[in-house]
Chain A
């Protein structure tokens, strides 16, 4: 062992019961003569003890019944996501229905039904894929690097979605204001479609992207993510 840094690693090994016999005597000898390393050992022991104290205190106050209920609710999150997609599809159908004159409503509904079905299937696939991706990704490679890649990809996706939605929203609003059609009411149709898009944009802008940025910052990702 060459310097205090090496002995500090030996202190950590001893603290966690992993110090080999040949390392013990040199460490003891060094500690007897090094105030700095003795202070390091005291700080390490103190920090471990303090973390244990706080963890035991916190765990004694956990309402495990509430946690279990939360788990049971979370297990059905994919179903809730699917229900949300069905609701969104129903909203599109309602908008299509309301925007068409009474004699054309059935035909217009038939035209939007395939699109609604595609949306529901896509959401179901995304829900299933994201659950499987999490499971697969946590089982390989260096943990933090894997997470960094995931978070960077999520942040990039959320930002792109945010801009794409903004562009689509602007287009829909433009059509709602200037559009003219004989078979449907553009104000009702494009205005109605804009509402869920606007809600999704607000969610991305004020929840999803800032959250991904905070996670990126915590993981020490590129500086641009922190801004």
Chain B
């Protein structure tokens, strides 16, 4: 199943934007709220795009710094979350590029739970490693579809492509991922 993270409704987005435009304390509170609401799904997207936890955290930081700078000029041409996810893609590509070629992914972290959970974690790491070998485009579409709460229309908006194209992009990316994992189907 895709990652389950809280979604930010349009009404909440409007409240946040109103707070930002009010300035002062209201702006600080609105920025904090935006951070709390979006930090986890953004982290997931950044993790899948960068392939490294440290890079994902750096990318999340960069996203919110850019949002802080740009949000007063945000005119609402798209949903606020769409705009933030677009910034997240860029920040993730940049964070990934800071690593020199050949640097490995995160080392295996000790996880709790029984054997089944360890196997699950190993599979998860194998998938993330395979993702990291894909080019930026397929990684982007797979990462966004892995977040529950983003519809295919929103993903099309984030990527700036027609709705009909988003499925063929996902299909092509999935095939690349499966090949990268060394699976046959």
> Is A12 within 8 A of B62, CB to CB?
no
A8-B171, A52-B3, A54-B127 known; A39 vs B136 contact (CB < 8 Å): no
Is the CB of A139 closer than 8 A to any CB of chain B? Answer: yes
Complex CA–CA separation, A18 to B167 (angstroms): 10
In the bound complex, residues from chain B placing their C-beta under 8 Å from that of A214 are 96-97, 99-101
Which of B4, B96, B125, B160 counts the most chain A CB atoms within 10 A? B160
How many Å from the CB of A222 to the closest CB on chain B?
14
1/0 per residue A1-40: CB within 8 Å of B?
A: 0000100110011001010000000000000000010011
| Chain A residues within 8 Å of B, Cβ to Cβ | 5, 8-9, 12-13, 16, 18, 36, 39-40, 42-44, 46-59, 61-62, 64, 66-68, 70-71, 74-75, 77, 131-132, 134-136, 138-147, 151, 210-212, 214-215, 218-220
In the bound complex, residues from chain A placing their C-beta under 8 Å from that of B35 are 68, 71
> Is B68 within 8 A of A143, CB to CB?
no
> Is B65 within 8 A of A51, CB to CB?
no
Contact of B124 among A36, A40, A53, A62 (CB under 8 A): A53
A39-B185, A139-B83, A210-B100 known; A51 vs B136 contact (CB < 8 Å): no
> Is B174 within 8 A of A47, CB to CB?
yes
Secondary structure at chain A's binding surface: helix, strand, loop or mixed? helix
- In the complex, besides A12-B170, A142-B159, 5 extra interface pairs with C-beta distance below 8 angstroms are A16-B2, A47-B177, A51-B44, A51-B131, A215-B97
In the bound complex, residues from chain A placing their C-beta under 8 Å from that of B40 are 59
Number of B interface residues in the complex (CB < 8 A): 78
How many Å from the CB of B81 to the closest CB on chain A?
13
Within 8 A of A (CB), among B68-90: 68-70, 73-74, 77-78, 83, 86-87, 89-90
In the bound complex, residues from chain B placing their C-beta under 8 Å from that of A43 are 174, 178, 181, 183, 185
A9-B171, A47-B127, A67-B60 known; A141 vs B70 contact (CB < 8 Å): no
Within 8 A of A (CB), among B1-57: 1-4, 35, 39-40, 43-44, 47-48, 53, 56-57
A50-B124, A61-B53 known; A215 vs B94 contact (CB < 8 Å): yes
Complex CA–CA separation, A212 to B83 (angstroms): 23
How many Å from the CB of B181 to the closest CB on chain A?
8
In the bound complex, residues from chain B placing their C-beta under 8 Å from that of A64 are 39
Contact of B140 among A13, A55, A75, A143 (CB under 8 A): A143
> Is A135 within 8 A of B64, CB to CB?
no
How many Å from the CB of A139 to the closest CB on chain B?
6
Complex CA–CA separation, A90 to B140 (angstroms): 44
| 5 shortest interchain CB distances as A-B pairs | A135-B70, A39-B185, A74-B65, A55-B44, A50-B127
How many Å from the CB of B183 to the closest CB on chain A?
6
How many Å from the CB of A49 to the closest CB on chain B?
6
> Is A12 within 8 A of B57, CB to CB?
no
> Is A36 within 8 A of B185, CB to CB?
yes
Complex CA–CA separation, A179 to B121 (angstroms): 66
> Is B48 within 8 A of A55, CB to CB?
yes
A74-B62, A74-B65, A131-B70 known; A51 vs B121 contact (CB < 8 Å): no
> Is B174 within 8 A of A218, CB to CB?
no
How many Å from the CB of A29 to the closest CB on chain B?
19
> Is A74 within 8 A of B90, CB to CB?
no
How many Å from the CB of A67 to the closest CB on chain B?
6
Within 8 A of A (CB), among B135-183: 135-137, 140, 142-143, 145-146, 151-152, 158-161, 167-168, 170-171, 174-175, 177-178, 181, 183
